[in-house]
Amino acid sequence: MSPRVVIIGPPGAGKTAVGRLLAERLGTAFRDTDTDVEALAGRTIPEIFTHEGEEAFRELESRAIATALAEHHGVLALGGGAVTVERNRSLLAAHPVAFLSVGVAEGVRRTGLSAPRPLLTGVNPRSTFQALLRERLPLYREVADWEIDTDESAPAEVVEHLLERLDGADTGSSAGE
Ligand SMILES: Nc1ncnc2c1ncn2[C@@H]1O[C@H](COP(=O)(O)OP(=O)(O)OP(=O)(O)O)[C@@H](O)[C@H]1O
Ligand SMILES: O=C(O)C1=C[C@@H](O)[C@@H](O)[C@H](O)C1
Ligand SMILES: [Mg+2]
In angstroms, the CA 130 to CA 132 distance is 5
What CATH number did the domain enclosing 105 receive? Answer: 3.40.50.300
Strand partners, 77: 7, 32
Quick check: is 155 in a domain? yes
- Which residues does ligand 1 sit against, CB inside 6 Å? 9, 11-17, 34, 79-80, 110, 113-114, 117, 150, 153-155, 158
Number of domains in the chain: 1
Quick check: is 174 in a domain? no
What residues make up the domain containing 101? Answer: 5-164
Quick check: is 139 in a domain? yes
In angstroms, the CA 86 to CA 139 distance is 9
Q: Report the chain's mean pLDDT, rounded to a whole number.
A: 91
Quick check: is 23 in a domain? yes
SS3 27: coil
Rounded to two decimals, the ipTM of the complex is 0.97
Which atom in ligand 1 lies closest to the alpha carbon of residue 80? 25
Quick check: is 172 in a domain? no
In angstroms, the CA 77 to CA 57 distance is 17
- 87-144 pLDDT, tens per residue? 999 999 999 999 999 999 999 989 876 566 667 776 678 888 999 999 999 999 999 9
Distance from residue 110's CA to the centre of ligand 1 (Å): 6
- 144-175 pLDDT, tens per residue? 999 999 999 999 999 999 999 998 886 544 44
Distance from residue 36's CA to the centre of ligand 2 (Å): 13
SS3 175: coil
Quick check: is 176 in a domain? no
Quick check: is 170 in a domain? no
Query: Does the CB atom of residue 40 touch ligand 2 within 6 A?
Result: no
Quick check: is 149 in a domain? yes
